[in-house]
C-alpha cells in the first residue's frame, strides 16, 4: 500500500486498468447490490433539501419509497446509505434511451438545477473509502459488473488512479492526488520492470537483451 498523508492507498489503484464502459454495463452499479450508496450526514441533508428539484425525474416506485422511508437508511453495518427500491435499486436511479441507468442527481447537476453532483461514494467508485481512527483506507472494489471497465481501461491504457482523477481530487485535494500520481508512476515503473525481468528469466532470454 501507499501511505499518503493520513491515508493508506491500495496498490490496485496503480495496478488495475479502469475506464467505465456504460455502453456495455448500462450503469448496473446503480441497480445491483444489497444496499444503497454510502452517504455522509451532510450529503443526506443536502439530498433532502434538493429533493423537490429532483422529484419529477424519479420513478413512481422511488417516489413511493421515499415518501414511506426517506432518502436514506442505516444498513446492516450501521452505515448511512441511499434508500433503495425492492431490495436493490437506488431511489435516485432513472433511465435513458436504450435502458441506460443514470442518476437523477447527476442529471439535475448537469442541467444546472442543483449544486450537488452525486454522493462522493458514487463519484469515487470503484474506490471505496473506509475511515478508521487516525487514518482512512482507500481501496479498489472489484465487482463482476465492472469487468468490462477493466477491459476498456486496459485497451485504452488508463489506470484506475488516472480515471478517478476528478473525484479523488474532490475527496482528498490536489496535493494528495499529486502525491498519489508520483507514487503510482514510481511503483508502475518498478512493478513492470520486475514483470519483464521475471519473463526474461523464465524463458532464458537474458542474452537477447544484452
How many angstroms separate the Cα of 169 from the Cα of each of 26, 156, 206? 26, 22, 42
User: Does 204 score more than 70 pLDDT?
Assistant: no
The model's confidence at residue 24, banded by pLDDT at 50, 70 and 90, is: confident
pLDDT > 90? residue 28: no
Q: State phi, psi for 32 to the nearest 5 degrees.
A: -105, 155
Strand boundaries in 35-151, DSSP class E:
72-74, 80-82, 84-85, 89-90, 93-95, 101-103, 127-132, 135-140
pTM: 0.85
> Dihedral sign, CA of 39, 40, 41, 42?
negative
Q: What is the pLDDT of residue 104?
A: 94
17, 153 in Cβ contact below 8 A? yes
- Among 9, 12, 4, residue whose Cα is nearest residue 137: 9
Instruction: Output the CA angle 38-51-143, nearest 5 degrees.
Output: 30
Average pLDDT over residues 71-98: 89
Residue 52: pLDDT band with limits 50, 70, 90: very high
Amino acid at each position: 500500500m501507499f501511505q499518503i498523508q493520513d491515508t493508506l492507498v491500495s496498490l490496485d489503484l496503480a495496478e488495475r486498468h479502469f475506464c467505465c464502459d456504460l455502453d456495455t454495463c448500462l450503469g448496473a452499479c446503480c441497480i445491483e447490490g444489497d444496499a444503497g450508496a454510502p452517504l455522509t450526514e451532510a450529503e443526506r441533508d443536502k439530498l433532502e433539501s434538493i429533493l423537490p428539484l429532483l422529484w419529477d425525474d424519479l420513478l413512481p416506485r422511488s417516489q413511493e419509497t421515499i415518501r414511506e422511508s426517506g432518502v436514506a437508511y442505516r444498513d446492516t453495518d450501521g452505515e448511512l446509505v441511499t434508500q433503495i427500491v425492492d431490495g436493490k435499486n437506488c431511489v435516485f436511479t432513472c433511465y435513458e434511451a436504450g435502458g441506460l441507468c443514470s442518476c437523477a442527481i447527476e442529471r439535475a447537476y448537469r442541467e444546472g438545477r442543483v449544486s450537488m453532483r452525486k454522493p462522493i461514494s458514487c463519484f469515487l467508485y470503484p474506490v471505496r473509502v473506509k475511515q478508521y481512527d487516525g487514518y482512512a483506507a482507500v481501496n479498489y472494489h472489484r465487482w463482476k459488473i465492472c469487468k468490462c471497465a477493466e477491459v476498456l481501461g486496459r485497451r485504452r491504457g488508463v489506470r484506475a488512479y488516472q480515471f478517478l482523477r476528478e473525484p479523488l481530487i474532490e475527496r482528498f485535494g490536489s496535493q494528495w492526488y499529486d502525491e498519489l500520481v508520483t507514487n503510482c508512476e514510481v511503483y508502475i515503473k518498478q512493478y513492470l520492470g520486475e514483470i519483464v525481468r521475471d519473463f526474461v528469466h523464465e524463458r532464458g532470454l537474458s542474452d537477447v537483451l544484452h
